[in-house]
Amino acid sequence: MNRREFLKTTTATALGAAAGVAAPAFINKAQAQSRAETLLIVSESGPNNIDIHGVGTNVPGYEVSWNTNARLLSHGMKTDETGKQLYDRDAIIPELAEDMTVGDMSATFKLRKDATFHDGTPVTARDVKWSLDRAVSVGGFPTFQMKAGSLEKPEQFVVLDDHTVRVDFLRKDRLTIPDLAVIVPCVINSELVKSKATAEDPWGLDYTKVNGAGAGAYKVVKWTAGTEVVYERNEDWKLGPMPKVKRIVWRMVPSAGNRRALLERGDADISYDLPNKDFVELKDAGKLNIVSTPYSNGVQYLGMNVTKPPFDNPLVRQAVACAVPYQKIMDAVLFGLAKPMFGAAPGTPTEAKWPQATTFSTDLEKAKALLTEAGYPDGFETTLSFDLGFAGVNEPLCVLVQESLAKVGIRTTINKIPGANWRTELNKKELPLYTNVFSGWLDYPEYFFFWCYHGNNSVFNTMSYQSPTMDGFIDGARAAAAAGDTAAYEADCKGFVDLAFKDVPRIPLYQPYVNVAMQKNVSGYQYWFHRRLDYRALVKEA
Check whether 417 has a pLDDT greater than 90. yes
Taking the C-alpha atoms of residue 91 and residue 74, their distance in angstroms, rounded to an integer, is: 8
| CA quadruple 166, 168, 172, 178: dihedral, nearest 10 | -40
Q: What is the DSSP letter of 150?
A: T
Taking the C-alpha atoms of residue 376 and residue 369, their distance in angstroms, rounded to an integer, is: 10
Domain assignment present for 465: yes
Domain assignment present for 13: yes
pLDDT in tens, 173-194: 999 999 999 999 999 999 999 9
- Whether residues 519 and 506 share a domain: the answer is no
pLDDT in tens, 205-217: 999 999 999 999 9
pLDDT confidence of residue 11: 40
pLDDT confidence of residue 30: 47
Domain assignment present for 330: yes
Domain assignment present for 26: yes
pLDDT confidence of residue 371: 98
pLDDT in tens, 367-414: 999 999 999 999 999 999 999 988 989 999 999 999 999 999 999 999
| CA quadruple 522, 527, 531, 532: dihedral, nearest 10 | -30
Domain assignment present for 284: yes
Judge contact between 62 and 183, C-beta under 8 A. yes
Judge contact between 442 and 175, C-beta under 8 A. yes
- Whether residues 381 and 426 share a domain: the answer is yes
Query: Quick one: average pLDDT of 469-487?
Result: 97
- Whether residues 422 and 477 share a domain: the answer is yes
3-state secondary structure 309-355: CCCCCHHHHHHHHHHCCHHHHHHHHCCCCEEECCCCCCCCCCCCCCC
Taking the C-alpha atoms of residue 243 and residue 235, their distance in angstroms, rounded to an integer, is: 9
Q: Say whether 34 sits in a helix, a strand or coil.
A: helix
Domain assignment present for 81: no
Can you give the CATH number for the domain in which 270 is found? 3.40.190.10
pLDDT confidence of residue 21: 34
Taking the C-alpha atoms of residue 77 and residue 87, their distance in angstroms, rounded to an integer, is: 4
Q: Using 50, 70 and 90 to split pLDDT, how confident is the model at 31?
A: low
Can you give the CATH number for the domain in which 468 is found? 3.10.105.10
Domain assignment present for 83: no
pLDDT confidence of residue 499: 98
3-state secondary structure 441-507: CCCCHHHHHHHHHCCCCCCCCCCCCCCHHHHHHHHHHHHHHHHCCHHHHHHHHHHHHHHHHHHCCEE
- Whether residues 407 and 418 share a domain: the answer is yes
pLDDT in tens, 56-85: 899 999 999 999 999 999 999 999 999 999
Check whether 453 has a pLDDT greater than 70. yes
Check whether 457 has a pLDDT greater than 60. yes
Burial class (CB in 10 A: 0-12, 13-18, 19+), 266: middle
- Whether residues 109 and 223 share a domain: the answer is no
| Mean pLDDT, the chain, integer | 93
Check whether 28 has a pLDDT greater than 80. no
- End-to-end C-alpha distance for the chain, whole angstroms: 16
Range of the domain at 126: 71-76+88-194
Q: Using 50, 70 and 90 to split pLDDT, how confident is the model at 542?
A: confident
pLDDT confidence of residue 29: 47
pLDDT in tens, 127-145: 999 999 999 999 999 999 9
Number of CB atoms found within 10 A of residue 470's CB: 21
Number of domains in the chain: 3
pLDDT in tens, 342-373: 999 999 999 999 999 999 999 999 999 999 99
pLDDT in tens, 225-257: 999 999 999 999 999 999 999 999 999 999 999
Q: Using 50, 70 and 90 to split pLDDT, how confident is the model at 339?
A: very high
Check whether 17 has a pLDDT greater than 70. no
Apex 305 CA angle, 397 and 392, nearest 5: 20
- Whether residues 355 and 262 share a domain: the answer is no
- Whether residues 408 and 529 share a domain: the answer is no
Judge contact between 110 and 166, C-beta under 8 A. no
Check whether 5 has a pLDDT greater than 70. no
At which of 161, 194, 227 does a domain end?
194
Instruction: Identify the bridge partners of residue 39 per DSSP, sorted by sequence position.
Output: 248
Taking the C-alpha atoms of residue 423 and residue 434, their distance in angstroms, rounded to an integer, is: 12
Task: Indicate the range of 8-22, 255-269, 513-527 predicted with least confidence.
Answer: 8-22
- Whether residues 376 and 479 share a domain: the answer is yes
- Whether residues 406 and 448 share a domain: the answer is yes
Can you give the CATH number for the domain in which 154 is found? 3.90.76.10
Domain assignment present for 200: no
- Whether residues 251 and 331 share a domain: the answer is no
Query: Quick one: average pLDDT of 301-308?
Result: 98
Burial class (CB in 10 A: 0-12, 13-18, 19+), 259: buried
Indicate the pTM of the whole model. 0.87
Task: Determine what percent of the chain is predicted with pLDDT higher than 70.
Answer: 94
- Whether residues 340 and 284 share a domain: the answer is no
| Best CA proximity match to 89, nearest among 538, 478, 440 | 440
Long-range (24+ apart) CB contacts under 8 A made by 204-210 are: 205/51, 205/53, 205/54, 205/55, 205/138, 208/50, 208/51, 208/53, 208/54, 209/49, 209/50, 209/51, 209/54, 210/50
pLDDT in tens, 96-120: 999 999 999 999 999 999 999 999 9
Q: Please, which residues have CB within 8 angstroms of residue 399's CB and are 6 or more apart in sequence?
A: 414
- Whether residues 308 and 372 share a domain: the answer is yes
Judge contact between 234 and 22, C-beta under 8 A. no
Which of residues 35 and 488 earns the better pLDDT score?
488
Kindly report the backbone phi and psi dihedral angles of residue 25, in degrees, each rounded to the nearest multiple of 5, phi listed first.
Answer: -85, 0
